Amino acid sequence: MDLYKTRDHVSNFDDHVAEYKVMSEKTRASSKNSLNVAYGPGANEKLDLFFPSAPVPGCPIHLFIHGGYWRMFAKDDFSFIADNVTACGAIAAIMDYDLMPAVRMETIIGQVRKALLWLHQIAPQIGGDATRLTVSGHSAGAHLATFTFSSDFDGPLPKAAVLLSGVYDLKPLQTSFLEPLIGLTDNEVDNFSPLLMQHASATHVFIAYGDKETLPFAQQAQDFAQHLENRGSKASVNALITTDHMSAVRDLGRSGTTIGKILQSAIGLS
């Protein structure tokens, strides 16, 4: 079996997706928010902002980047992440981006950086502090989040990053089920594999994966944490007990879970 094909390893995959939708609809209906705000001129360059119930001027801002192997899902599927973010007094920004194969990975990385830059610039207008940015991402979103603190990015550095169930070496995906779907090129593998890149040591990185995930996700998490530590970054790695690839991101939006508490700790560093 393909160890990267999540659907084959999570028996209730579709149930999780349906649960995300219900939770996200509830979040949008019950929260203080501003939806479909443009961070760029593209049709999919939009994000949703969610605000604490009792905001304090100059509060932290947290950007969440969804997964889906760069080819599926959207911000509306993950509004529920904002529940945990706003509960600890931060503004949550849940972003959309264009999907492969309609665009290439370089475009998506550019959009993630554009969203962070936009949040940095707009921070005072939405009641946030431009110096108190943090990021998180799940699966492909964790991969994309690394480009907000890679050394080739000259924009604002997040104080902390939470990387959940990420892929940091793209090479194995060229022989996975994804090959006919997104067709990663050799140049993309070489240029956009975080394990081959340098990163700013100022960003504190929290890496996590579910202990019920397949071996490559555990190994890549360990390898990337070691890669960062070897280069002077503060990085930790956590195996989440009784957690699979799909329940991991669900728990990110819940304040009482292990990964939910890790997210709170990351925001607290800002």
DSSP states of 31-88 as a string?
A: SEEEEEEESSSSTT-EEEEEE-SS--TTEEEEEEE--STTTS--GGGGTTHHHHHHHT
Whether residue 64 lies inside any domain: the answer is yes
Q: Would 84 be classed as within a structural domain?
A: yes
What's the pLDDT score for residue 219? 97
Whether 1 is in a domain gets the answer no
The pTM (predicted TM-score) of the whole model is 0.97
CB under 8 Å to 14, separation ≥6 — which residues? none
Segments of the chain with pLDDT less than 50: none
The pLDDT score that the predictor gives to residue 15 is 97
Question: Into how many domains does the chain fold?
Answer: 1
The answer as to whether 227 is a domain residue is yes
Q: Find the CATH number of the domain harbouring 218.
A: 3.40.50.1820
- CB-CB contact of 148 with 134 (8 Å): no
User: What mean pLDDT is reported for the chain?
Assistant: 97
Domain that holds residue 110: 6-268
Q: Per-residue pLDDT tens for 70-110?
A: 999 999 999 999 999 999 999 999 999 999 999 999 999 99
Residue from 71, 31, 74, 76 nearest 55 by CA: 31
The answer to whether residue 61 is domain-embedded is yes
Distance CA 180, CA 29 (A): 38
pLDDT reported for residue 1: 85
End-to-end CA, the chain: 41
**Closest listed residue to residue 61, CA positions, set 261, 202, 270:** 270
| Euclidean distance between CA atoms 50 and 22, whole angstroms | 17
